Amino acid sequence: MMEIIPVLDLKSRIAVSGKSGERNKYKPLKTVYSSSSNPVEIARTLKDKGAKRIYIADLDAIEGKGSNYDIIKKINNIIPVILDAGANDVNTVNNLLKITDKVIVATETLINFKDLDEIFKTFSKRELIISIDSKEGQILSKKSDLSFKKFEKKLKELKPDEIIILDISGVGTQNGFNHKLLNEMEGWEDYLILGGGINLNNIKILHQKGITKFLLGSAIHSGQIMHPFKLN
């Protein structure tokens, strides 16, 4: 069974799009799922078309420039949200669980392993998703020495239910997922959700390798992949 999880990036209360994580260049999202960049309208249409849950990145919250929490709460009442809002401690996760179904703890904003341990001790694994954010083949992290091997050791301790591998370099490009990143996580296929640059050909190849969950943004909003929630 395959799951396509649609992606929405929120900034200044609208859905936006861009490439390779260059957030200062993001523009209002143009999508086949709505005539506007209204994220609530887009989410409602995605639900009607068959999406089971939606990935939201609150770029304002991640950058410490406010948030879009009221909008995210509205969307979560329509369709379950998995949310990246820069959570890196217990208090933030606790607050975010009031507005979302699952909270993403991402390497980009994680400060140290102690905080990650505390988060997993405090909350159910069902409420959490770890995201390994990568750029140019390296883990994007405040810990400059964080390698895939070192992080994999931590994953074996925590045993999360789901792990996102997000290739930020590929976001918005549809150039295909970086297979070297997948090789770094060999043996974890059952837990993985892959995102960043994924296209239809990619999905078929990755599915043959045992990957069943994918984050798709540009490929579905542009209409290049028709009926994405009926792929199998």
The set of residues, in sequence order, having a beta carbon less than 8 Å from that of 179 and lying 6+ positions away, is none
What domain count does the chain have?
Answer: 1
User: Do the domain assignments include residue 228?
Assistant: no
Are 58 and 84 within 8 A, CB to CB? yes
User: Do the domain assignments include residue 41?
Assistant: yes
**Would you state the pLDDT for residue 169?**
83
Residue type, 207: H
Are 59 and 10 within 8 A, CB to CB? yes
**Would you state the pLDDT for residue 175?**
78
**Would you state the pLDDT for residue 118?**
98
User: Do the domain assignments include residue 145?
Assistant: no
Which structural domain range is residue 52 located in?
Answer: 6-59+66-84
User: Do the domain assignments include residue 92?
Assistant: no
Sequential pLDDT tens for the chain (232 residues): 899 999 999 999 999 997 756 667 789 999 999 999 999 999 999 999 999 999 999 999 999 999 999 999 999 999 999 999 999 999 999 999 999 999 999 999 999 999 999 999 999 999 999 999 998 888 989 876 788 999 999 999 999 999 999 998 878 777 778 888 888 999 999 999 999 989 888 899 999 999 999 999 999 999 999 889 988 7
User: Do the domain assignments include residue 71?
Assistant: yes
Burial class (CB in 10 A: 0-12, 13-18, 19+), 167: buried
User: Do the domain assignments include residue 35?
Assistant: yes
User: Do the domain assignments include residue 206?
Assistant: no
User: Do the domain assignments include residue 137?
Assistant: no
